[in-house]
Amino acid sequence: RAALQELALRPDRSALLRYLPPSGLQRHRIAGVQWLARMGVEATAEQTLPCAGAQHALFITLQHLFTLQHLSSRSRVVYVDELSYPGIHGIAELLRLQLIPIGADAEGMSPQKLVSACQKHGPGALYLMPTIHNPTGVVMPDARRLSLCEVARAHQLFIIEDAANRMLLAKAPAPFWQHAPERTFLIASVSKIVGAGLRVAFLVAPGEHMQALVRQVWGTQWMVSPLGLEIVAMWLEDGTVDVTLKRKRKEAARRQAVVQKVFGSRSLRAHPNALHVWVELPKPWRSERLAEASARQGIVVTPSSAFWTGKSPPPAAIRISLGGVEKLRELELGLTKLANIVFR
């Protein structure tokens, strides 16, 4: 409310309702640099492009990469985790890309399995969420990141690093952008910290790709709405982002503690700072059937099929979002009801 009131009283407010360059205002690109710095990512304003949310950033990145000569119609593959962010499916369908699932272990995607897939399918893009992975919560260690960078260089892969949850972790391993800046595109959304409705994300890319990405913004929606970007810039300046970030990290930890209290150690995979948890279901449950049963009790969970890119049937598991319920007591009651369904 305060931000909207401040905007309404500003004498330059009408400038935010005009056509602006698709590259965004310099002030908003600098806001992106400041946002990235808070998650331990170093970038310049020239390397940072405002986008209309992470999904838009991911779309224009893939659209751009597969118009390059060496990622032509001959090689339209995107290497992904077997369990991966659901939004990648819709983009792959629209752009006619083939998702190649790669197996993982407790540290994330397997470099050996990625090499085998590359030998079969050739160059392409590598999409990863290495910090608080969605849905498993895995934080990929430095050594695994370096190994995957070596594979990417050897097999001509561009790396797309989705940093949606990175800021929830006070100290995260170095980003792929730091290890392989010549081939990494990093996407930093503001949704998990200040709200998805703003539709703001910042895309970091190698300098030689930036002009083509700006053209992708122009081609998809002319420009990113400056109103949301201006609110993010204001909140960075007045400290709102930093205060909210501290609160969000504490709240995530509180909610994970509630999960542990209700579920104990039964088949849970989660990170202490994540706003979601992955639950492996006991027999005879299947994920879709459990999701339907919980929905009848007023509880919405996401079945594993929403994340699954593998060729075999998806695992019997669900993801529980911990951020959609306002009060901790309400969350505990919902989780207790869900646990009674799952483990009855």
Q: Average pLDDT of each block of 10 consecutive residues along the chain (344 residues)?
A: 91 87 95 96 96 97 83 80 96 95 96 97 96 96 98 97 95 96 97 91 96 96 94 95 95 95 86 94 94 95 95 94 92 95 88
Instruction: Tell me what pLDDT residue 71 has.
Output: 65
Report the SS3 class of residue 280: strand
Instruction: Tell me what pLDDT residue 311 has.
Output: 87
Report the SS3 class of residue 322: coil
Tokens of 127: 């999409």
CA separation, residue 183 to residues 54, 141, 178, 340 (Å)? 19, 20, 10, 47
Instruction: Tell me what pLDDT residue 163 has.
Output: 97
What's the rounded Cα separation, in Å, for the pair 135 and 149?
A: 22
Instruction: Tell me what pLDDT residue 162 has.
Output: 98
Tokens of 236: 């960075």
Instruction: Tell me what pLDDT residue 14 has.
Output: 85
Instruction: Tell me what pLDDT residue 324 has.
Output: 85
Report the SS3 class of residue 80: strand
Residue 332 belongs to what H/E stretch?
helix 328-342
Residue 302 belongs to what H/E stretch?
strand 302-303
Instruction: Tell me what pLDDT residue 89 has.
Output: 94
What's the rounded Cα separation, in Å, for the pair 338 and 277?
A: 13
Beta bridge partners of 81: 102
Model pTM score: 0.94
